[in-house]
């Protein structure tokens, strides 16, 4: 009798297991999640003498939050700054690489060149990324000696490939260029600075 009952319930057990396995395999479809960048501030480095490029470089410490249940690859992040004036200019910055931290010591050494990194499931990965403006390498281009100028304000957008899908995130932040940046000079000790998006500070 018990053997017959066991045989009767076996199909139900296997059906339940099949549903559980299918649900586990398809969990990314029901709870897809995504990667999103989080910003708190920005830095500017004036010139990269080791590379021979005189333009301003943009430093962004970005927390990459992955809300999905699978690892995600972030590839080729870039920054778009849109000036907050009528017919304002649009600037595009491409990823150069990564610094270990925000400090003069770190910035005097060459950054780690990379174009992609992994973000683990349900986690936040913090990166200090350095971006150079488009055509920073072309001596015949106006951006070769690009400078941020005090008084400018930009809306911030971050683009990247999540695995193979292109994403563009409007950060809801305004990058304000403060007067202190006009004084950045590689021949002095004040050649980089960092600001939060909440309030400026004086060197």
Identify which of 53, 49, 41, 58 has the alpha carbon closest to the alpha carbon of residue 94: 58
Handedness of CA 187, 189, 194, 199 (dihedral sign): negative
Write the CA distances from 87 to 39, 84, 90, 92, 174, integer angstroms.
26, 9, 9, 16, 17
CA distance 80 to 57: 13
The predicted structure's pLDDT at residue 49: 77
Alpha helices by DSSP H, the chain: 2-25, 27-30, 104-107
The predicted structure's pLDDT at residue 57: 97
CA distance 36 to 83: 23
Beta strands in the chain (DSSP E): 35-39, 41-48, 53-66, 72-83, 90-99, 112-113, 116-119, 123-133, 153-162, 165-176, 192-196
Specify which residues 129 forms β-bridges with.
60, 98
The predicted structure's pLDDT at residue 7: 54
In this prediction, the residues of the chain whose per-residue pLDDT falls under 70 are 1-31, 198-203
The predicted structure's pLDDT at residue 19: 45
CA distance 58 to 130: 6
Q: Would you say 168 and 161 are in contact if contact means Cβ atoms under 8 Å apart?
A: no
pTM: 0.80
The predicted structure's pLDDT at residue 12: 52
DSSP 142: G
């Amino acid at each position: 009798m018990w053997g017959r009952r066991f045989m009767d319930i076996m199909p139900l057990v296997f059906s339940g297991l099949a549903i559980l396995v299918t649900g586990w395999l398809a969990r990314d479809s029901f709870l897809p999640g995504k990667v999103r960048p989080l910003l708190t501030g920005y830095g500017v480095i004036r010139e990269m003498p080791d590379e021979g490029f005189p333009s301003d470089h943009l430093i962004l410490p970005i927390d990459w939050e992955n809300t999905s249940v699978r690892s995600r690859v972030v590839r080729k992040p870039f920054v778009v700054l849109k000036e907050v004036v009528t017919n304002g200019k649009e600037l595009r910055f491409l990823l150069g690489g990564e610094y270990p931290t925000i400090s003069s010591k770190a910035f005097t050494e060459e950054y780690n060149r990379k174009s992609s990194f992994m973000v683990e499931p349900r986690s936040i990965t913090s990166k200090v990324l350095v971006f150079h403006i488009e055509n920073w390498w072309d001596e015949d281009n106006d951006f070769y000696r690009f400078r941020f100028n005090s008084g400018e304000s930009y809306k911030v957008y971050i683009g990247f490939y999540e695995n193979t899908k292109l994403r563009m995130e409007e950060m809801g932040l305004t990058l304000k260029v403060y007067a202190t940046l006009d004084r950045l000079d590689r021949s002095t000790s004040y050649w980089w600075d960092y600001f939060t998006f909440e309030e400026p500070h004086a060197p």
